[in-house]
Structure 1
């Protein structure tokens, strides 16, 4: 679903080293005010800003490589813990997850989809695509309707103002959440920070600094 995503950071150099050197992902663009890292089928750009910003996003990984990737990640960065464990199985998604934070404090989740296998050693190809992008707002109902208008369905029956709302399809979702709700497997409460996500169908979803979501079509 996600063709590209743009986040903002005041830790550009440290972030570039982290994704390029620590996670060993391909940096496809380098500039003074930005860099782009290729995460499987998704390009993620970090743009320089003066103020701190952090997000939650998730990356799909092969289910059969979950244990191998866990050991690989632990050699590079500490995993986050919740209720005495450093991984969790989500029955509704038939997937296992682990979490860590990058230098900007982004809460990064690796989701091992048990129905997806990739054989061989851990490599860049183990990072399949961005599977979740957190959208934080104080206008959950209005934001949800905007995403529905773009043709994205809600996983479930009703928007939950105080819970996580998964809006998307397949193995890729926006995670719509109210400002101030604690992110799972972290000690941080969700905050509103601008971002942009371009979907495979050309739809561009933008979250503004005030928490309002807007839509456009790529090229407009």
Structure 2
């Protein structure tokens, strides 16, 4: 699954665009940020709540150490209660992650997934090496029910066995992170999830639509873009 486009409500389009250009070295044109194959459009939040939005960016696993050094020079990392900043996940995740704060209270993540192709690049890391937005957090009141709707809508499967408050649907290239709306984000566990006003368009899945009216987000895959 690929996350092709993402509309992100923000408090100030120019300011948030400047963050992605200056801190993460991503190409920004007007209100559009390009992260590999993902196009992220920034739009005024209006009455939508900001803060608590989770996005992850894929990094080639063989460049994760260089990416960590690059990010540390640009922004602090989030820590868990034990003070740890680097997290290795086994099983079907087979990955490692670091987390950091973005503008408007974004919960951002760099993740290196070992099953994906290596980069082969050496030397200093650059933001242009981020390959995509690979995760979008989607809060809901009923994780199991929403997950089943996502499976029916797009033909997705679980990356790993779901639990009551969390489910990851998709694959290494793209995941919908379905999370209980009352479950605070890892690793700091301080911020509740939010996705109000977010609109996601998927590729490499069945054509379908998914939304949560109470939480105010929508995901779709246009006809003709499915498997």
Q: Structure 1: how far apart are the matches of 2:78 and 2:60? A: 20
Q: Is 1:107 matched with 2:107?
A: yes
SS of aligned partner of 1:78: coil
Q: Structure 2: how far apart are the matches of 1:193 and 1:215? A: 12
**Alpha-carbon deviation of 1:216?**
4.9
**Alpha-carbon deviation of 1:114?**
2.8
- How many pairs does the alignment contain? 213
1:144-202 CA-to-partner distances (Å, cap 9, x unmatched) read 12211121112345x5332x201112432100011120100232122352311111147
* Runs of 5+ unmatched residues, structure 2: none
User: What root-mean-square deviation, in Å, do the aligned CA atoms of Structure 1 and Structure 2 show?
Assistant: 2.3
- How has the CA–CA distance of structure 1 residues 10 and 152 changed in structure 2, closer, same or farther, with 3 Å as cutoff? same
Q: Is 1:20 matched with 2:21?
A: yes
- 1:1-220 aligned at under 5 Å gives the runs 1-28=2-29, 30=30, 35-50=31-46, 51-54=48-51, 55-82=53-80, 83-92=82-91, 93-115=93-115, 116-118=117-119, 119-120=121-122, 121-149=124-152, 150-157=154-161, 159-162=162-165, 164-186=166-188, 187-201=190-204, 203=207, 205=209, 207-208=211-212, 210-211=214-215, 216-218=220-222
**Alpha-carbon deviation of 1:206?**
5.4
Q: Is the 8 A contact 1:52 1:104 kept in 2?
A: no
**Alpha-carbon deviation of 1:27?**
0.9
Q: Structure 1: how far apart are the matches of 2:49 and 2:215? A: 16
TM-score after normalising by structure 2: 0.84
SS of aligned partner of 2:65: helix
Q: Is the 8 A contact 2:76 2:100 kept in 1?
A: yes
TM-score after normalising by structure 1: 0.86
Q: Is the 8 A contact 2:199 2:218 kept in 1?
A: no
1:80-130 CA-to-partner distances (Å, cap 9, x unmatched) read 111211110011222110000111111011001234321134124420111
- How has the CA–CA distance of structure 1 residues 138 and 110 changed in structure 2, closer, same or farther, with 3 Å as cutoff? same
- How has the CA–CA distance of structure 1 residues 110 and 216 changed in structure 2, closer, same or farther, with 3 Å as cutoff? closer
